[in-house]
Structure 1
Amino acid sequence: MLKNVAVALLDGVHPFELGVVCEVFGLDRGDEGLPVYDFAAVSAEGSTLGTHVPGLTVSTPYGLDRLEEADLVVVPAGRAYAVRDYPPELLDALRRVVDRGARVLSVCSGAFVLGAAGLLDGRRCAVHWHHAEMLARQYPRAIVEPDVLYVDADPVITSAGTASGIDACLHIVRKEHGPEVANAIARRMVVPPHRDGGQAQYIERPLPRSECDTVGEVLVWMERHLDEEVTVEQLAARAHMSPRTFARRFQQETGTTPYRWILRQRVLLAQDLLEASDETMDAIAGRTGFGNAAALRHQFVRSLGTTPQAYRRTFRGPQAA
């Protein structure tokens, strides 16, 4: 049973991510019949640490020895965590935590600390989508999943950016104490106890542009006619190529196939319309070439891990649904 929680701090820690852990595990809600944890913030770099907010510091009397008794050790995000070095004694302590069967949790760029300790090797893991490529490059043995909110590869749990730390913390509470306790804490925090979808719906994906002019004009035409059904043969004819040559050139210059390129642009257009208009799902499906609301929903869920209705609520508020 989870009783003892410690959060490991480094210089430049992000106050919000630290606050998330304190809110879930550090508040005494015993008068409400909720679990009370033996909680401590632990410093790996001196008793007073800077944060990424100018002038704001964090002080704690606890050192790394406090990690030896923790059932859960949390590493929140911090400034420049992707490019800095970490105290060897912290990495050793994190490895000991896992070796004795306790859990570790990272929030956002805290995953780089777990990576440096070797705790992501051979494990699925999550991190903020902005850091996913760098994490995968620095720790090639880690299995980085850039689209999810968190990954439970017990005893190593990793979460994506900022609010995903709340999701992961509530997930741990749910595992340890059941959904009623997790739901009660979520209500006190005024957050959903579980969020649908993953990071995919928040990732910025600008329209890819080709550096070569071979299929450039066809890309422009495709973008302007997303509501039309087209074949590779028709596109090849516009480019004055054979279908086989066109398909090969398209793959070389865009990194994908014509079908996948069109599908991605249709989903992007649907996202724009869901965010900026009150059009019905059928109308959006017609404008984006999906034909009907059912097909739109199917492809939207496949691409982003959430429904069009949920996406609209997320980015325009519940009244827009």
Structure 2
Amino acid sequence: MGAKKNPPAPHASPDSVPHRVALVLTDNLPLFEVAIPCEVFGIARPDLHDPWYALTMVRGEPGGITTAGGLAPSSAAPLEALREMDTIVVPACERSLQLDRAAQEPLLTELRAAAARGARVASLCSGAYLLAQAGLLDGRDATTHWMNWEDFEASFPAVRLRRDVLFTSDSGVYTSAGTAAGVELCLELVREDFGDAVAASVARRMVVAERRGAAQSEYLESVGQPLPSDPVRHAMDWALKNLHAPIGPDAMARRARMSRRTLYRRFEAAAGTSPTQWLLERRIDAARRLLESTDLPVDRVAERAGIGTAANLRSHFARAVGMSPSAYRRARRRVPA
């Protein structure tokens, strides 16, 4: 992994060498996962940093390459171009590539060599399968789309699958959860290279949240996977309506009419996290909304979100979001660039 840079002046010297980013193309890959790196790395932003990135599309396999939307890139560099790159991004790939390691061996070899020489290697969504096949995730934290969790964990037992995050960063190797989580990961790479202010500016121009700070499990129900236990679902719905109250796992267990131990077991199976952590994440989300939409002082935000004191809110908020409640409020109310 290249050394982290201190936040530079808005304009670097004209003879500076741009950071080289490769976007690996495989056949039938999702169009959205191609568009994310193109938007973040492929558009010059001289008012933020000059030079910006130099983005190169690289052919990850032989033969014709067409996206799932039917677009065929007119040109792409050969696989060997990865040897000159500082960062390599591997988007989501179709199921056949997730299963057939032998067919991808030339790409896997290049990915191993790139990581060995210190290049950053990142995957979006199911692109984590290719990083895992290359052995780059063994003994490391990683994540992928929630629909792939069970299969991925069974296929790569040496990988520490994280179901509670939208992206991971572990010793120069990065992975992200499904689809839009790739935006967070790409912005994190910008943050490492050019600092918080530049990453925040890019996020505002894309009109996206810089850091959602949510667990992937938050999105399971919204995309059509109902929680398997009605009592647990009932307890969760009740808790969401009463976040301001001093309720915890014991109260949820009573609401679900089950023991605390049974609640924890069924809750983790359904939501991928504990009731305690789930409640804290929902309360942090409630605090974020209050900070964005009201002028309430921090102690009142903490109270209404069910976190208690301002000190508790500051502590939990900094760990979850990466900034203080006051800094978050200022950032979200800043006029977009």
TM above 0.5, yes or no, is yes
Give 1:17's match in structure 2, choosing from 33, 38, 43: 33
Amino acid at match of 1:183: V
Q: Does 1:164 align with 2:181?
A: yes
For residue 49 of structure 1, give the secondary structure of its aligned residue in structure 2: coil
- The answer for the alignment partner of 1:242 in structure 2 is none
Q: Does 1:85 align with 2:113?
A: no
1:168 & 1:230 partners in 2: Cα distance?
Answer: 32
Give 1:125's match in structure 2, choosing from 117, 138, 142: 142
Q: Does 1:200 align with 2:215?
A: yes
- The answer for the alignment partner of 1:35 in structure 2 is 51
Structure 2 unmatched runs, 5+: 3-17
Deviations 1:144-182 (A, max 9, x none): 222323222232122233333333333323333x327x6
Give 1:108's match in structure 2, choosing from 125, 130, 144: 125
Larger radius of gyration: 1
Identify which range, 113-122 or 98-107, moves more after superposition.
98-107
Amino acid at match of 1:65: E
Contact 2:190-2:199 at 8 Å conserved across structures: no
- The answer for the alignment partner of 1:74 in structure 2 is 89
Structure 1 unmatched runs, 5+: 240-244, 312-316
Distance verdict in 2 for CA 1:25–1:300, change over 3 Å: closer
Q: Does 1:57 align with 2:72?
A: yes
Contact 1:74-1:105 at 8 Å conserved across structures: yes
Q: Does 1:190 align with 2:205?
A: yes
TM-score, L = length of structure 2: 0.63
For residue 178 of structure 2, give the secondary structure of its aligned residue in structure 1: coil
- The answer for the alignment partner of 2:12 in structure 1 is none
Identify which range, 112-121 or 30-39, moves more after superposition.
30-39
For residue 174 of structure 2, give the secondary structure of its aligned residue in structure 1: strand
Equivalenced residues, count: 300
Amino acid at match of 1:11: D
Amino acid at match of 1:59: S
For residue 199 of structure 1, give the secondary structure of its aligned residue in structure 2: coil
Offset of 1:17 from its aligned partner? Answer: 1.8
1:48 & 1:127 partners in 2: Cα distance?
Answer: 26
Offset of 1:190 from its aligned partner? Answer: 0.6
For residue 96 of structure 1, give the secondary structure of its aligned residue in structure 2: helix
Identify which range, 193-202 or 149-158, moves more after superposition.
193-202
1:23 & 1:253 partners in 2: Cα distance?
Answer: 40
Show the 5 A alignment for 1:204-283. Answer: 204=219, 210=229, 261=275, 264=278
TM-score, L = length of structure 1: 0.65
Contact 2:146-2:216 at 8 Å conserved across structures: no
Amino acid at match of 1:127: T
Identify which range, 295-304 or 147-156, moves more after superposition.
295-304
- Backbone CA RMSD of aligned residues: 5.2
Contact 1:186-1:192 at 8 Å conserved across structures: no
1:8 & 1:201 partners in 2: Cα distance?
Answer: 25
Greater RCO (Cα-Cα under 8 Å, separation 6 or more): 2
Amino acid at match of 1:117: A
For residue 5 of structure 1, give the secondary structure of its aligned residue in structure 2: strand
Give 2:61's match in structure 1, choosing from 45, 49, 56: 45
Offset of 1:60 from its aligned partner? Answer: 2.3
1:48 & 1:298 partners in 2: Cα distance?
Answer: 52
Distance verdict in 2 for CA 1:22–1:224, change over 3 Å: closer
